[in-house]
């Protein structure tokens, strides 16, 4: 049943989330009280996640008192899930245990569908669900002939390998897809169907394609190879998890009923980042006309730029019932009006940041030339300092000063303008995607059972302990422990504890060798308690540390953007955090400098100020705009909507000349002082 939300419930949620410094307005209160199936369209800075947290706080209370079914909250990144735990975990710990589930869509799919069905089919669980590891292992298995499907003649094997070798990357990229008509192969999960056809050599005459029988044998070989790989290496790709999940739903549809019986209230945050296969799977399981069911999909279509792709196909088809959160608590009216024209799916965007010292700040367009492009950051800092002197930007702001651009790579970086062009010290490799180990079982999964090494296992356990210390906020002076620092500290400062540590590490490794994960997990928990209590004077393990250790043995790893490894530069006493638009998605800044960058050549248009000059002047982007213009608009929409106080845009002078008056009339300040000082 749906909980009845009282005014007292909302006040309690406000006190938890805002302390004494904030309340929800009527727009958000309406959402907090809504439990029907609907889509929530929210503008940047609307506080949609905060409103969802308020709803969860209230539901946790009513769930204990009246019983209202399990709560399922899904987001796209581990960072978003961590934010939920950090903000409300201690106030409603029941949200994070049975029958509820709060996690990423990938973890939900792995836990409830892919792993159980894999185990049902093969009799054991996968050791890893991860993309990079899968690619490395399957390419090595193919090239080293470790896997040899039986039942094929030497000529049939030769044809299969000829087909694969002639299609670069195919061995790691082909995926199983399933429908009522059976299984077929695609290149990537939602990619093109793979057509089995004999490759044509250059200048080849008298070309003859494979016959139907040969094509069928190649198809059979590919299918057997992948199944044998799964069984031998116990490693599946993230995409494979969705194949197993859909197969589970198709072969044993009662699983949908089991999940619906457990989860009565489903909330999908950052819906715009979900892909078509994720949306289809969730709808297949949970979309229902049953009473007392909630299925909310929350997000902003205009911010659909997840990873390094810019999605233009609207995979999120809006439901008949929608609710709009149109007030941005982040943006001032001056900035909101500059952002609105770039919305491909326009909804009202109202700047509700009405602080007097903020609302009067106009956005800037900083003009540069090729000879002074590296001075743009200095000009940005001079604007910040000028506004600080007039008390319109705080001297110690709550949020950071950021510098962002779309493209950080170019095939010809010497002649193409990218982020590094403005900031020569910018390290393009920082912030690259890497394996993120979310739970203790993920650390255990790092141990390669084919080439087990006690040295590697010791390092893995030490790194897991370092993770616990970070979750406990236990630091080495001013910075977090690293593995080497931690082991050195333990040896010199706590010698008796160091001896116990080595004994327990040995026992954990012994359990890992025997694949007794539950024993290894229990021993690690004993070790973590001892280390935390002795280092931090009797402190108990926190909720987040316990969740890290106790999460069921789910050997998977998650792929996330490590945007915390930032490029930070200090200019005239001001710290500037430099990165890409994609790396700051979801962030709030005090000030943002958007750097235009090169993105293909369409006629004479390669930069945002060329493709989007009319939108800078305040004209709404039309539906008829070209695909690259729309891609640019979506990135600009995300980039422009980050700051609370100041928005600056860097454009080359010759692209703006002749447009100055219209841009000023649209609310921009044109700053040409970099070029004036040269004349």
* pLDDT attached to residue 362: 95
Name the phi and psi angles at 448, rounded to 5.
-75, 120
Separation CA 69–CA 100 (nearest Å): 8
Give the sheet arrangement for strand 643-652, strand by strand. Answer: 567-571, 574-580, 401-405, 589-595, 643-652, 364-368, 669-671
Name the H helices within 111-207. 115-122, 131-143, 154-165, 170-173
Other C-beta atoms lying within 10 Å of the C-beta of residue 457 = 23
Separation CA 296–CA 322 (nearest Å): 10
Three-state SS for 530-576 is HHHHHHCCCCCCCHHHHHHHHCCCCCCCEEEECCCCCEEEEECCEEE
* pLDDT attached to residue 675: 87
The sign of the torsion formed by the CA atoms of 563, 132, 445, 117 equals: positive
Q: Which CATH superfamily is domain 7-111+253-325 in?
A: P-loop containing nucleotide triphosphate hydrolases (3.40.50.300)
Picking from 649, 65, 641, the residue whose alpha carbon sits closest to that of residue 350 is 641
What is the tens place of the pLDDT at every residue in 335-357?
999 999 999 988 999 998 877 67
Q: Are 172 and 139 in contact (CB under 8 A)?
A: yes
Specify the CATH class of 333-431+564-676 in words.
Answer: alpha beta
Whole-angstrom distance between the N-terminal and C-terminal Cα of the chain? 72
Ordered by start, the domain boundaries in the chain are: 7-111+253-325, 131-236, 333-431+564-676, 440-553
Low-confidence ranges of the chain (pLDDT < 50): 307-308, 413, 432-435, 448-452, 553-564
Structure tokens belonging to residue 440:
């203790």
CA distances to 6, 60, 400, 457, 578 from 18, in Å: 18, 18, 20, 44, 30
Strand partners, 426: none
Q: Are 491 and 505 in contact (CB under 8 A)?
A: no
Residue 474 Ramachandran class (φ > 0 left, ψ -120 to 50 alpha, else beta): beta
Q: Are 238 and 106 in contact (CB under 8 A)?
A: yes
* pLDDT attached to residue 413: 47
* pLDDT attached to residue 54: 96
What is the tens place of the pLDDT at every residue in 15-52?
999 998 889 999 999 999 999 899 999 999 999 999 99
* Angle subtended by helix axes 212-233 and 115-122, to nearest 10: 100
* Angle subtended by helix axes 254-262 and 276-286, to nearest 10: 80
Separation CA 354–CA 99 (nearest Å): 42
For 181-191, b/e burial (b = at least 16 CB within 10 A) is eeeebbeebee
In total, the chain counts a number of residues equal to 679
Q: Residue 230: is it exposed, middle or buried by C-beta count within 10 angstroms (0-12/13-18/19+)? A: buried
* pLDDT attached to residue 363: 97
Three-state SS for 438-494 is CCHHHHHCCCCCCCCCHHHHHHHHHHHHHHHHHHCCCEECCEECCHHHHHHHHHHHC
Q: Residue 99: is the preceding peptide bond cis (ω within 30°)?
A: yes
Picking from 588, 611, 592, 665, the residue whose alpha carbon sits closest to that of residue 342 is 611
Separation CA 326–CA 552 (nearest Å): 40
Name the phi and psi angles at 73, rounded to 5.
-120, 120
Interacting residues of 630 by C-beta distance below 8 A, sequence separation 6+: 312, 344, 621
Three-state SS for 302-361 is HHCCCCCCCCCCCCCCCCCCEEEECEECCCCHHHHHHHHHHCCCCCCCEECCCCHHHHCC
Picking from 355, 364, 415, the residue whose alpha carbon sits closest to that of residue 391 is 355
* pLDDT attached to residue 448: 45
């Amino acid at each position: 049943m749906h909980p009845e939300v009282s005014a007292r419930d909302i006040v309690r949620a406000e006190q938890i989330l805002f302390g004494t410094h904030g309340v929800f307005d009527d727009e958000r209160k309406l959402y907090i009280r809504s439990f029907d199936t609907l889509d929530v369209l929210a503008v940047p800075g609307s506080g949609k996640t905060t409103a969802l947290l308020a709803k969860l706080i209230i539901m946790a209370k009513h769930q204990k008192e009246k019983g209202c079914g399990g709560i399922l909250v899904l987001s796209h990144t581990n960072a978003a899930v961590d934010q939920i735990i950090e903000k409300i975990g201690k106030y409603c710990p029941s949200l994070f245990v049975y029958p509820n589930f709060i996690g990423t869509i990938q973890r939900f799919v792995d836990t409830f569908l892919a792993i159980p069905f894999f185990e049902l089919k093969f009799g054991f669980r996968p050791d890893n669900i991860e993309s990079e590891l899968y690619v490395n292992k399957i390419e090595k298995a193919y090239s080293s002939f470790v896997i040899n499907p039986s039942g094929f003649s030497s000529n049939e094997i030769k044809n299969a390998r000829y087909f694969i070798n002639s299609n670069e990357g195919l061995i790691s990229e082909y995926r199983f897809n399933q429908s009522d008509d059976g299984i077929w192969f695609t290149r990537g999960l939602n990619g093109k169907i793979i057509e089995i056809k004999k490759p044509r050599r250059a200048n080849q005459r008298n070309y003859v394609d494979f016959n139907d029988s040969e094509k069928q044998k190649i198809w059979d070989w590919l299918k057997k190879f992948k199944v044998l790989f799964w069984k031998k290496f116990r490693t599946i790709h993230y995409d494979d998890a969705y194949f197993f999940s859909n197969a589970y739903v198709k072969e044993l549809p009662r699983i949908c009923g089991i999940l619906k019986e457990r989860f009565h209230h489903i909330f999908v945050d950052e819906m715009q980042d979900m892909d078509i296969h994720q949306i289809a799977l969730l709808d297949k399981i949970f979309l229902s006309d049953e009473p007392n069911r909630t299925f909310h999909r929350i997000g902003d279509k205009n911010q659909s730029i997840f990873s390094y792709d810019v999605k233009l196909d609207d995979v999120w088809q809006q439901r008949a019932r929608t609710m709009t959160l149109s007030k941005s608590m982040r943006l001032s009216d001056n900035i909101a009006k500059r952002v609105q024209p770039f919305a491909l799916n326009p909804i009202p965007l109202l700047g509700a940041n009405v602080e007097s010292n903020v609302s009067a700040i106009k956005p800037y367009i900083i003009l540069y030339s090729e000879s002074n492009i590296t001075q743009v950051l200095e000009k940005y800092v001079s604007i910040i300092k000028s506004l600080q002197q007039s008390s319109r930007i705080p001297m110690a702001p709550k949020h950071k000063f950021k510098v962002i651009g779309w493209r950080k790579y170019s095939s010809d970086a010497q002649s193409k303008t990218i982020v590094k062009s403005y900031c020569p010290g910018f390290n393009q490799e920082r912030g690259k995607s890497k394996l993120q180990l979310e739970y203790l079982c993920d650390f255990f999964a790092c141990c390669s059972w084919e080439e087990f090494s006690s040295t590697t296992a010791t390092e893995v356990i030490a790194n897991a302990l370092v993770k616990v210390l970070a979750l406990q906020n236990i630091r080495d002076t001013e910075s977090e422990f690293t593995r080497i620092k931690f082991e050195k500290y333990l040896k010199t400062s706590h010698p008796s504890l160091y001896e116990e540590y080595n004994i327990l590490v040995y026992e954990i490794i012994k359990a890992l060798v025997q694949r007794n994960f539950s024993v290894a997990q229990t021993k690690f928990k004993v070790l973590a308690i001892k280390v935390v209590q002795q280092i931090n004077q009797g402190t108990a393990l926190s909720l987040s540390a316990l969740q890290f250790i106790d999460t069921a043995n789910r050997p998977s790893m998650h792929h996330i953007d490590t945007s915390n490894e930032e490029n930070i530069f200090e200019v005239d006493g001001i710290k500037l955090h430099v990165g890409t638009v994609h790396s700051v998605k979801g962030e709030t800044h005090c000030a943002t400098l958007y750097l235009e960058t090169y993105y293909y050549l369409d006629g004479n248009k390669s930069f945002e100020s060329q493709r989007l000059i009319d939108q800078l002047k305040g004209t709404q982007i039309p539906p008829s705009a070209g695909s690259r213009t729309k891609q640019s608009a979506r990135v600009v929409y995300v980039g422009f909507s980050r700051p609370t106080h100041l928005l600056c845009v860097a454009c080359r002078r010759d692209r703006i000349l002749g447009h100055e008056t219209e841009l000023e009339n649209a609310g921009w300040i044109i700053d040409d002082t970099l070029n004036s000082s040269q004349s």
